[in-house]
Amino acid sequence: MSRPSKIVIASRESRLAMWQAVHVRERLSSLNPGTEVVILGMTTKGDQILDRPLAEIGGKGLFIKELEVAMQEGKAHLAVHSMKDVPMVMPEGFVLAAISARENPRDAFVSNNYNALDDLPAGAIVGTSSLRRESILRAKYPQLVIKSLRGNLDTRLKKLDAGEYDAIILAAAGLIRLGMESRIKSVLTAEQSLPAPGQGALGIELIDGAADMADVVAPLNDPETAHCVKAERAFSRALGGSCQVPLGGYAIIENGQLWLRGFVATADGKEVVSAELRGNPVDDEALGLQLASELRAKGADAILAKLACHA
């Protein structure tokens, strides 16, 4: 395989997105000595509209559209994404070519005055940008006040530090990657807060058919993480997973088996349907579809119908 002389990575310009792009740049540079690997920083629509919840402005695809246009126009060869920001159905003409090893996929409780969710007094204000987290909090902690929290990681932490919130829930992976693990008061277990599909994993997106680039990024793929994330995404996709659906999907490989757990809920947390199953990791997407079917059999369709009415 001939090595390209230059590789351009498209990335959002938030500090976390740039960390992810630099991480991939360093790995590609070490794998391709003599190749120049550069980052094209871009601001996306999702970064610009911060005064409304994602579900209201078009969902997670707003974070990747500009990066895809850059690839289509030949300005970039690949884009790096946090997998939980990647829409469940890839746009035509694009593929996820690699999914790298996962950082801690769980949710983190961040507060300046309290050590855990259970320590928060009634009426305490908790910030989150996720319908999934909101539904979990409303179901388990109805005495708390849940408020929308948008913006990049630094913006969210500033709002907490300014006293706008008593606590906020963030992905542990982002804090760890930016060297801010000390901000985490406690990491929520999967039982407390089932992670979002793909949380903690990075994905490499390419133009479909770019075989030379597919070969270049192939060594970045982590098979175990890829099996888990594919199962999670297939589960979410089968239930119409998006910013408008409070849904969690989380897989690990344990004793050679893929263990997938999932739930779907109403935004108020009053109705929750959950299930889990185990199977062969190579059957990742089939397991995701099977789990979605099990949730539908338990009544998920009624919840999804209610969510569609409110969308």
Q: Which residues are catalytic?
A: 85
**Phi and psi for 66 in degrees, rounded to 5?**
-60, -35
3-state SS class at 89: coil
Residue 52, CB half-sphere, CA atoms under 13 Å: how many?
A: 13
How many separate helices (H) and strands (E) can be counted in the chain? Answer: 11, 13
Closest CA to 157 of 15, 300, 37, 302: 15
Closest CA to 235 of 205, 272, 277, 203: 277
Q: How far apart are CA 130 and CA 53, in angstroms?
A: 8
Closest CA to 268 of 149, 125, 141, 100: 141
3-state SS class at 196: coil
The token pair at 265 is 């809920």
The token pair at 25 is 């740049």
Q: Which residues pair with 147 in a beta bridge?
A: 127
Helical H runs in 148-200?
153-161, 172-177
Cβ(240)–Cβ(304) under 8 Å?
A: yes
Q: Give 77's DSSP letter.
A: S
3-state SS class at 39: strand
Q: How far apart are CA 299 and CA 236, in angstroms?
A: 16
DSSP element (H, E) containing 286? helix 284-297
Q: Find the farthest-apart pair of alpha carbons in the chain and give their distance in angstroms, rounded.
A: 62
